[in-house]
Amino acid sequence: MRRPLLTYAVSAIVLLVSTSAWAEDLSADQIMDALRTDLPGRGERGLSIFGGEPEPPSVNLRVQFAYNEATLTDEAILTLGALGEALGSEILEGLSFEIIGHTDATGSVEYNQALSERRAQSVVGFLTDEYAVGAERLSWSGEGESRLLDIDNPESGENRRVEIRTVLSEED
């Protein structure tokens, strides 16, 4: 079944306007657009209508790992290839990023925290080794199961993800 062109256009606009994108199969250009700080409303510090600091640009990627492991699967390598290309672009040159691992709620809180950290480290290692992204541009952390995307279904695969967040400098 073919989707109407309008559906694709609306999807592209939503991705470009949003400072936090979610996707399984984003291209390097889409990832780059989601992480940019040079678009209107991106990376701005100061007052917020909602009473807090604006969230930095970020993108959630479904990065597949072997079950209960931090070993990247072939699917993960394809996903991270697009991320590696995006981080190597001139547009994102000079920016730093935090790689944040997330898990679902299967397993203990302590186990999931450690697993999310190992997975984030695995992604950082892949990006530095395979795409020559400077290690000084990447930091990592794990959130375990503390920030579920699908709260109503804590064991959902949607919760197992890697988030890439642009680190805002004081000048941004």
pLDDT tens readout for residues 4-34: 433 333 333 333 333 344 445 789 999 988 8
Mean pLDDT, the chain, as a whole number?
80
Averaged over 148-168, what is the pLDDT?
A: 90
103/119 Cα distance (integer angstroms): 9
Q: CA nearest 133: which of 98, 168, 169? A: 98
pLDDT tens digits, one per residue of 62-110: 888 877 889 998 989 999 999 999 999 999 999 999 999 999 999 999 9
What structural domains does the chain harbor? 21-39+56-167 (3.30.1330.60)
Checking if the pLDDT of 58 tops 60, the result is: yes
The CA distance from 131 to 125, in Å, is 10
63 close to 120: Cβ distance less than 8 angstroms: no
pLDDT at site 37: 83
- Supply the pLDDT for residue 4: 43
91 CB-contact burial (10 Å; exposed 0-12 / middle 13-18 / buried 19+): middle
What does the pLDDT look like over 116-156, one tens digit per residue? 999 999 999 999 999 999 999 999 999 999 999 899 999 98
Whole-structure pTM over 0.85, yes or no?
no
User: What's the gap between Cα 76 and its chain centre?
Assistant: 13
- For residue 112, the surrounding DSSP H or E stretch is helix 109-131
Greater confidence, 172 or 97?
97
Provide the pLDDT for residue 168.
83
